[in-house]
Structure 1
């Protein structure tokens, strides 16, 4: 199952594999891998782009190194808060990040995410693969509106990278 049609290099592709409970997200950015990687690992930058535009983010901790952990809270205009946390299993400079991801509203639905950073002639292609424990969990995540948050977050990242 794919949630995108034809694509432009900077269009976010979100694909749910029919044979595995995974979501794969592919996106290119007009910046070299070291800048995109920094935006993924520096909490002062993460807070500026991660998630949908209508939410604000507070980072409680963000230790982006192998063995580190994170927790952040996104807040809606009405004051509703959504907490997320995980552990960084591997952080390999400018190459990849392997981490767990848990939405605290569904604490049993932990996913394992791998983000690869690929240099494409001075641009960066990221490929994020999220493995869930079941198809039900994966499909619930897709129905949750995560696609809007991912797309808007990457648009915000584009804006951040342009301004750096």
Structure 2
């Protein structure tokens, strides 16, 4: 199995685009991205962080909410609203952190493209301004997203995800 890494690039003056290939069919990657019991196992849960709150109302106009807890008890929350859903192919949503560390909101689009049994996931985040995008790029965001994607790869490779994905409604 080839080791995949995340690629990050900027697009236009307000957008960050991150791409990562996973050795799994897109139905499983989509399930891991949209089912709370799976999201809690990979998204931002590294270096002692956990996700005690993971709520996903997967419908256009539905909301999601994540709360992470650090090893010191500090909490960080974020949420938003789904603006577009194409099951297995595309998710679009707004994004806002509880403790706003940048001005305004962001809008993310995640696409899931399958080729030869692998899924190419592309996460595009557009910010309200170039200044905000540039400020985000100066944070450890890239390292955190890459770590999350590595955890997702591990979850997908564990062989348990297909079983887990079937036990919970999308």
Pairwise same-fold verdict (TM > 0.5):
yes
Give the structure-1-normalised TM-score.
0.89
Match of residue 43, structure 1, among 36, 39, 50: 36
After superposition, give the CA deviation of every residue in 1:99-134 in whole Å (9 maximum; x if it has no partner).
Answer: 111112117431111101001111000111111001
Residue 106 of structure 2 corresponds to which residue in structure 1? 111
| Distance in 2, Cα, partners of 1:102 & 1:121 | 35
Report if aligned partners of 1:68, 1:88 keep a CA contact under 8 Å in 2: yes
Alignment of 1:47-58 (within 5 A): 47-54=40-47, 55-58=49-52
| Distance in 2, Cα, partners of 1:73 & 1:135 | 27
1:80 aligns with 2:74: yes
Report if aligned partners of 2:50, 2:68 keep a CA contact under 8 Å in 1: yes
SS at match of 1:94: coil
| Distance in 2, Cα, partners of 1:70 & 1:78 | 25
Residue 59 of structure 1 corresponds to which residue in structure 2? 53
SS at match of 2:40: helix
Q: Please, which moves more after superposition, 104-113 or 120-129?
A: 104-113
Report if aligned partners of 2:39, 2:54 keep a CA contact under 8 Å in 1: no
Residue 163 of structure 2 corresponds to which residue in structure 1? none
SS at match of 1:144: coil
Aligned-pair CA distance for 1:71: 1.0
Match of residue 68, structure 1, among 40, 46, 62: 62
Give the structure-2-normalised TM-score.
0.86
Report if aligned partners of 1:65, 1:91 keep a CA contact under 8 Å in 2: yes
| Distance in 2, Cα, partners of 1:117 & 1:104 | 28
- Matched length: 156
Report if aligned partners of 1:33, 1:118 keep a CA contact under 8 Å in 2: yes
